[in-house]
Amino acid sequence: MASKRLVLVWLCLTASCQSLKPAHQMQARDGFDSKIRCAVFLSPDCPIANAMAPSLGRLGQYAQQHDIETLLIYPRKGLTTRQVSNHAQSYGLVGHVVLDPDHRWVNSLDATVTPEAFVFSGGIENPNVLYQGRINDLYRGVGNRQEQARNHDFRNAIERSIAGNRESVSGPPAVGCTIER
């Protein structure tokens, strides 16, 4: 119950109540310094992204506990604030919800599918990507789901960053729903 309340408060502060804005506006607000941030590209109707939501919720909390912000970026055109807020809330995601209909974040980080995970520093114009790849190996291919994830690449990348390791690592490619250009 406590964790549900935490998620609701966090979403209220970050998304629907405060600052759900297009990506370029958010960048202006934050300034995006050298601080480490996480980003995950999502789509409300991608079953692969949704299946990983419980893991993402835990990772978002873990990152938050270490003062790392997670951007939940929704690149699909036509999505509304209400839709993505509802999605993030109902799936227990923790992070800062971002609409990216113009694909500014998609192009900046070179994202290709949902869900795809990043650890980076810097802003949208000049990101320094420390990790790009899958969240875990729950899916080995589209339609090829394992019963459980056994390799947690995104979590490992966050842990490396927390430990102060700024080496850039390319993870195994993300498996998911193509981001339409």
Partner 1 sequence: MIDPPPPTFEDVRDLLSQNCVACHQQEGPAPFSLTKSTDYQRRSAFIQALIQEDRMPPHLVASERWSDQEKDVVLRWLAAASRDEDSQTVPAPKVPSFRKDRSFRIPEGFVIPKEGGERWHRGDRDVRTFRLAPRADQLLRVQAWRFHSSAPREVESIGLVHDDGTIARYGDLQEPNTPGYEMTGDMGWRPAGMLGVLGVANSTFRIPDGFHFEVPQDHEIDFELRFRPSGIDKPLAATLEAELVPDQQKSRALHLIPLSIRSWRVKAGESGTLEQRWVSPIDIDVPLVSVRAGRRIRGVSLSVDGKRVFDIPDWDPHWQQTWEIPDLRMTKGMQVVATFNVDNSEENPRNPETPPRDIQFGRRTGALGIWLHAAAIDPVDQGTLQQIHRSIFEAQQSEPVETPRQIEQSPKASP
Interface with partner 1 (CB under 8 A), residue from 21, 145, 152, 160: 145
Task: Give yes or no for a contact between 103 and 130, defined as CB atoms under 8 angstroms apart.
Answer: no
For residue 54, is the peptide bond before it cis, meaning its omega torsion is within 30 degrees of 0? no
71-130 residues in contact with partner 1 (CB under 8 A) are 77-78, 90-91
Angle at the Cα of 4 from the Cα atoms of 48 and 64, rounded to 5 degrees: 75
3 counts as binding partner 1 under rule CB under 8 A: no
181 counts as binding partner 1 under rule CB under 8 A: yes
Interface with partner 1 (CB under 8 A), residue from 3, 107, 126, 146: 146
Q: Nearest CA to 16 among 7, 29, 28, 4?
A: 7
**Residue 98, CB half-sphere, CA atoms under 13 Å: how many?**
26
For partner 1, the closer CB: 21 or 103? 103
| Euclidean distance between CA atoms 113 and 18, whole angstroms | 28
3-state secondary structure of 14: helix
**Using CB atoms within 10 A of its CB, is residue 135 exposed (0-12), middle (13-18) or buried (19+)?**
buried
34 counts as binding partner 1 under rule CB under 8 A: no
150 counts as binding partner 1 under rule CB under 8 A: yes
47 counts as binding partner 1 under rule CB under 8 A: yes
Residue 4 CB, shortest distance to partner 1, in Å, is 12
14-33 residues in contact with partner 1 (CB under 8 A) are none
> Given the rule CB under 8 A, which residues bind partner 1?
45-47, 50-55, 77-78, 90-91, 137, 140-148, 150-151, 177-178, 180-181
